[in-house]
């Protein structure tokens, strides 16, 4: 079979590898679509994320779906949770499997991901999907799951004003999930024109933070006291500062972006006077059934977020395109 392998910074090669054999509790999967995440781009451009660094060639990819190719569920189309928590530690037992210290995660550390024609994975981490969802839609369920987790952390509720700072794929999903959670006014902030255009389909107000008069426009958009919840999806200090400005006193600011240099700063005095709560997004919990239901019901549109599709042989080009931030979500179809 063919597999895309990341050997180092900017070095993605398509190689031949043997089809793997399923272990206990696993099945063979024919991978149909893999999305490129911002975290994948950190591996591609920086060789790691924070203190997690590339130590060997690895198959990337954790946003994926496929068709089960072995066992009693053979032929079933599935979305696949890329995380395999231990299920026995205190974090798992407390309902926080995303914080499991020994979690295995596709395309991270020593665990090969999904950018290959076939892979094995625990069947317990697979969720049946209807034929109404395209292969690319199924791959989008993972970033949607992260957005659901972010909105859960924000405590967005009926009648609230929400602000989303950064309108990449997860930000665009977060806007829609916040709406589904009951937010009645949603403000999106994004410097890139094509992402603002995408956000305009879902948000009530879309602002360019590089434009003259942005600070005044933001205050007008969120009202006298500010937004009840703010979700940051950009990973920059500027985005965090905007989030602090946008939040009302007592609000929750959810930090979902991954900074380039593993550090984040914010206006401490301003945040302290407002009594803000900061919460960090660590992947997601067990949200795949909710993600599937939101897309099937039409309450969240993931199809329009996919801007480019590449065959596996063009994996390197897919990475370069996604890294240039020229579109939205780039998908590889093994």
Residues 61 and 156 in one domain: no
Residues 153 and 262 in one domain: yes
The pLDDT-based confidence of 208 (bands split at 50, 70, 90) is very high
With CA atoms as reference, report the closest residue to 173 among 97, 114, 256. Answer: 256
Residues 66-85 have pLDDT tens digits of 999 999 999 999 999 999 99
Question: Is residue 138 one of the residues assigned to a domain?
Answer: no
Query: Given 3-state DSSP classes, what are the helix, strand and coil percentages for the chain, each rounded to the nearest 5?
Result: 30, 30, 40
Mean pLDDT, residues 92-115? 95
Residue with tokens 């950018």: 115
Residues 176 and 117 in one domain: no
Whether the CB-CB separation of 139 and 292 falls below 8 Å is answered with no
Report d(CA 260, CA 53) in Å as an integer: 13
Cross-strand partners of 205 = 187
Residues 151 and 62 in one domain: no
CATH number for the domain that contains residue 50? 3.90.180.10
Question: Is residue 286 one of the residues assigned to a domain?
Answer: no
Question: Is residue 77 one of the residues assigned to a domain?
Answer: yes
Residues 67 and 194 in one domain: no
- Six token digits for residue 223: 């009202």
Predicted pLDDT at 109:
85
- Six token digits for residue 323: 């890294």
Question: Is residue 295 one of the residues assigned to a domain?
Answer: no
Residues 202 and 80 in one domain: no
Question: Is residue 290 one of the residues assigned to a domain?
Answer: no
Predicted pLDDT at 52:
84
Residues 118-134 have pLDDT tens digits of 999 999 999 999 999 99
Task: Kindly give, in sequence order, each residue whose CB lies less than 8 Å from that of residue 23, ignoring residues fewer than 6 positions away.
Answer: 120
Greatest distance between any 2 Cα atoms in the chain: 61
pLDDT higher than threshold 90 for residue 47: no
Dihedral Cα 251, 143, 201, 132, nearest 10 deg: -140
CATH number for the domain that contains residue 234? 3.40.50.720
Question: Is residue 16 one of the residues assigned to a domain?
Answer: yes
The pLDDT-based confidence of 260 (bands split at 50, 70, 90) is confident
Question: Is residue 136 one of the residues assigned to a domain?
Answer: no
Look at strands 26-35 and 118-122 and give their pairing.
Answer: antiparallel
Residues 178 and 252 in one domain: yes
Whether the CB-CB separation of 155 and 254 falls below 8 Å is answered with no
Look at strands 247-255 and 277-280 and give their pairing.
Answer: parallel
Residues 207 and 324 in one domain: no
Question: Is residue 296 one of the residues assigned to a domain?
Answer: no
Structural domain for 99, as ranges: 2-128+302-333
Residues 273 and 306 in one domain: no
Residues 107 and 167 in one domain: no
pLDDT higher than threshold 90 for residue 2: yes
Predicted pLDDT at 112:
96
Residues 88 and 155 in one domain: no
Residue 109 DSSP class: T
Residues 35-46 have pLDDT tens digits of 999 889 988 998
Total number of domains in the chain: 2
Residues 241 and 324 in one domain: no
Mean pLDDT rounded to a whole number for the chain: 96
Distances (CA, A) of 107 to 52, 119, 153, 246, 311: 12, 12, 25, 35, 18
């Amino acid at each position: 079979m063919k597999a895309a392998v990341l050997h180092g910074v900017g070095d993605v090669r398509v190689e031949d590898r043997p089809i793997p054999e399923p272990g206990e509790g696993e099945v063979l999967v024919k991978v149909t679509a893999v999305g490129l995440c911002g975290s994948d781009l950190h591996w591609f451009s920086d060789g790691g994320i924070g203190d997690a660094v590339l130590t060997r060639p690895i198959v990337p990819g954790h946003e994926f779906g496929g068709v089960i190719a072995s066992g009693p569920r053979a032929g079933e189309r599935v979305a696949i949770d890329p995380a395999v928590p231990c299920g026995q530690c205190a974090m798992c037992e407390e309902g926080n499997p995303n914080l499991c210290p020994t979690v295995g995660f596709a395309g991270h550390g020593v665990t090969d991901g999904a950018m290959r024609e076939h892979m094995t994975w625990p069947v317990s981490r697979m969720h049946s999907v209807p034929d109404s969802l395209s292969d690319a839609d199924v791959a989008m369920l993972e970033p949607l799951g992260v957005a659901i987790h972010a909105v859960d952390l924000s405590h967005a509720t009926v009648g609230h004003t929400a602000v989303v700072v950064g309108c990449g794929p997860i930000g665009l999903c977060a806007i829609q999930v916040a709406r589904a959670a009951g937010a009645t006014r949603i403000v999106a902030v994004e410097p890139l024109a094509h992402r603002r255009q995408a956000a305009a389909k879902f948000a009530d107000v879309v602002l360019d933070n590089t434009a003259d008069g942005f600070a005044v426009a933001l205050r007008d958009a969120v009202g006298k006291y500010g937004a009840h919840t703010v979700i940051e999806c950009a990973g920059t200090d500027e985005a965090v500062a905007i989030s602090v400005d946008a939040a009302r006193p007592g609000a929750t600011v959810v930090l979902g972006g991954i900074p380039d240099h593993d550090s984040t700063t914010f206006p401490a005095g301003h945040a302290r006077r407002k009594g803000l709560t900061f919460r960090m997004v660590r992947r997601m919990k067990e949200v795949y059934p909710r993600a599937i239901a939101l897309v099937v019901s039409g309450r969240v549109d993931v199809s329009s977020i996919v801007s480019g599709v590449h065959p596996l042989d063009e994996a390197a080009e897919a990475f370069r395109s996604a890294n240039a931030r020229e579109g939205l979500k780039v998908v590889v179809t093994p």
